[in-house]
Amino acid sequence: MKKTLTVLFFLFIAAAVQATERSPQDILAASDAVRNPDHAFGLTNTLIEYRQGKQTESSTLAIYSKADVRGGQFRSLVRYVAPARDANKLILFSGKDMWFYDPTSQASIRLSPQQRLLGQASNGDVVTVNFAKDYRAESAVEEETQDGERRPRRCYKLGLSANSADAIYHRIEMWVDVGDSRPVKARFYTESGKLLKTAYYRRYQNAFGAERPTETVIIDGLEPDWVTVMRYTDWVKREVPETWLQRDYLPRFRPE
Amino acid sequence: MCTSVLHAALPQFCFVLLMALVTPARADDADALRLADEAPRTVARERDWRGFAEIGLGAADLRADGSTRKEQRVSLDLQVDHALSPQWRAVLADRLDVSSTAQHGGDKAINTLKEAYFSGRVTPDLLIDCGRINARYGVAMGYNPTDYFRGGALRSKVSIDPASLKENRQGSVLLRGQKLWDGGALTLLASPRISSEASSDGFSLDWGATNARSRAMLVLSAKFSEIVNPQFVVYKEEARSAQWGGNITGLIGQATVAYLEWSGGSGRSHWSAAVQQPASGTWRNRMSAGLTFTAQNKLSFTAEAQYDGAALADDAWRTLRAGSPLRYVQYRNWVAVAQELPTQRALFFRAFWQDALVPRFDLSAMVNVDLADNSRRAWLEARYRAEHIDYVLQWQGTRGAPMSNYGALPESWRWQVALKYYF
């Protein structure tokens, strides 16, 4: 009887540990929740690009995002604020339905998924993404890494593989803080295993009642001296009507 | 002794072991993060207006006498979009070109009032606009059969780049209403007849060029899926039969967009319109079909087949070329103003390479092929995008038999260097 109770006790403990232990996919979803609000929002994304230590380009984007009620992935409308040559150009991201609109020629041009990858801070990087919707977290290994502020941080190192046709990258390694699920950094790879870019999520500040990264530093995989800083400001909770997220609305869109 | 040494060395050993176990930021990463620390923290703000000034210098080789003629151009383009209230906006877009070109000789100033209209939001999903509006429809890159409002819209042709032709045109006076819903929209446009005479005055508002007849158009957009996205159009002109049209885009794999644009309806041919013959009620189709492929190195390539059933068939085109020069010029002039194809079948190719070889340096190439007479036109552009200025070099060449589509153009080649300053 005593032996049976002991076995039951250990089984109970094992089950309890199992219940509180998060799966890699849960960790990934928790880190998504740190980066992304659970409601529609707008923000300003300022991109500053450096090559060989010198600033070569900068642009400012106004981004309006909301999660799709059907699939959960974010859909976004991106508008160029600066530089002047690109002002008011729009890109609509709605899954595979992607359109570019140029107000000077009044032309709407359909974009292919491949065009999400163009640019170091690619079209796909500037918009909000729930990684857990497009990737399967296959492993989670605890280790220490240095964060974007160059401090050691205890993290889960997640191995992600694409499990949706909408996934931009083939494979991702992502470091997520063990304590608070903050994404710390990520490495993005091609199908052949080539490192495309490294991203550091840093400068956490309060936005919508939670600590969220307000800066992403992207380092090119092939040219490490090609660096892009993406800085997020002007976070605002706002309506993003469904009617905005279609090509017919692009010529009519005006900032509010 | 041994124990004390161990005690002294243990913390150091643990530190070294810890640092070895921590996945370090690579040296490159550390440099990048230090660079990011110093990034400026200014944020660009919205502006109601934007514009650019452009100066171009070039030369053209004239076919008629083999001489070379210098060309100069100065352009000023301004766009204003001002909120009058939360519901109403005022939009103005104007362009001034002052040029001395091979076609007309001497200086000539042409002002194009591209747009001037009020835009209102009756409800969040019901919008109306009223004024001169550049209403442009179609998904094809070169020839847009459903771009019904393009006729007479071009006052100053500064480049044969399709983007430039769409950008530098004047809108039509019209009333536009649009109802939006999740995944679709219905748009109604009504454009009145104002004047039947186009003006050659450089500063004319030229209502006659864009509003010579009353017109109406209905556009229905529906998103069937993320892959397929069609648009249906019905267009009606005063005293003309309705034209039906549509366009559809789709994805082929990850890197290719396919598109098809079609318009059809009873109506007169371009020839009948040019020589003002009574219209025959024949059904005529117009179509553009193409593919755009984008490679990983930012090189995109478009191939497009174009068909215009209202243009002259191959035999009729051959006959016209061999016949009266007066009739030939009459037809070519009408086609040029209407922005229609002179012959029925053509091919269009375009390549665009962003950040080619070095960052901010773009290369574009375009080729038009007329399949009726095998004449061709090629256009090349190199553009470097500095912070506020574009440095541009363009070359254009034509080849073809005498009186062919491109072989009859006044210039056999033309080049231009331009500076475009954005403010």
Show me where the domains of chain B are located.
76-250, 267-423
Phi and psi torsions of A40, nearest 5°: -65, 145
Q: Which pLDDT score is estimated for B21?
A: 45
CATH of B76-250, one of 2.40.160.10, 3.30.300.180, 3.40.50.170, 3.40.50.300: 2.40.160.10
* B313 has pLDDT over 70: yes
Q: Which pLDDT score is estimated for A15?
A: 46
Give me B181's structure tokens: 């819903």
Q: Which pLDDT score is estimated for B278?
A: 81
| Segment B127-175, tens digit of pLDDT | 999 999 999 999 999 999 999 999 888 887 777 777 777 778 899 999 9
Sketch the domain layout of chain A as residue ranges.
26-252
Lowest mean pLDDT among A159-173, B110-124, B256-270: A159-173
Unique residue bearing structure tokens 């990983």: B296
Residue B291 contacts A, CB cutoff 8 Å: no
The complex's ipTM works out to 0.86
Q: Which pLDDT score is estimated for A119?
A: 59
Q: Are A218 and A120 in contact (CB under 8 A)?
A: yes
Q: Are B20 and B12 in contact (CB under 8 A)?
A: no
Phi and psi torsions of B387, nearest 5°: -60, -50
Q: Which pLDDT score is estimated for A164?
A: 84
* B294 has pLDDT over 70: yes
Residues of B in contact with A113 (CB under 8 A): 251, 254-255
* B12 has pLDDT over 70: no
Q: Which pLDDT score is estimated for A6?
A: 60
Q: Which pLDDT score is estimated for B4?
A: 47
Q: Which pLDDT score is estimated for A70?
A: 77
- 3 state SS for chain B: CHHHHHHHHHHHHHHHHHHHHCECCCHHHHHHHHHHHCCCCCCCCCCCEEEEEEEEEEEEEECCCCCEEEEEEEEEEEEEEEECCCCEEEEEEEEEEEEECCCCCCCEEEEEEEEEEEEEEEECCEEEEEEEECCCCCCCCCCCCCCHHHCCCECCCCCCCHHHHHHCECCEEEEEEEEEECCEEEEEEEECCCCCCCCCCCCCCCHHHHCCCCEEEEEEEECCCCCCEEEEEEEEECCCCCEEEEEEEEEECCCEEEEEEEEEEECCCHHHHHHCCCCCCCEEEEEEEEEEEECCCCEEEEEEEEEECCCECHHHHHHHHHCCHHHHHHHHHHHHHHCCCCECEEEEEEEEECCCCCCCEEEEEEEEEECCCCCEEEEEEEEEECCCEEEEEEEEEEECCCCCCCCCCCEEEEEEEEEEEEC
Residue B2 contacts A, CB cutoff 8 Å: no
Partner A, chain B 152-191, Cβ-Cβ below 8 Å: 163-164, 166-167, 178, 180-185, 187
Residues of B in contact with A119 (CB under 8 A): 298
> So what CATH class is A26-252?
mainly beta
Mean pLDDT of B301-309: 97
Q: Which pLDDT score is estimated for B153?
A: 85
C-alpha to C-alpha distance for A146 and A160, rounded to whole angstroms: 20
Q: Are B393 and B37 in contact (CB under 8 A)?
A: no
* B19 has pLDDT over 90: no
C-alpha to C-alpha distance for A103 and A107, rounded to whole angstroms: 7
* B405 has pLDDT over 60: yes
With cut-offs at 50, 70 and 90, classify the pLDDT of residue B5: very low
Q: Are A209 and A33 in contact (CB under 8 A)?
A: no
Comparing CA positions, the residue from B257, B262, B260 lying closest to residue B291 is B257
Rg of chain B in Å (alpha carbons) = 28
Q: Cβ–Cβ of B30/A83 closer than 8 Å? A: no
Partner A, chain B 312-371, Cβ-Cβ below 8 Å: 354, 359-360
Q: Cβ–Cβ of B44/A46 closer than 8 Å? A: yes
Partner B, chain A 178-217, Cβ-Cβ below 8 Å: 198, 200, 202, 215, 217
Residues of A in contact with B352 (CB under 8 A): none
* B307 has pLDDT over 90: yes
Q: Are B114 and B275 in contact (CB under 8 A)?
A: no
Q: Which stretches in chain A have pLDDT values below 50?
A: 11-19
Partner A, chain B 367-406, Cβ-Cβ below 8 Å: 385, 387-388, 390
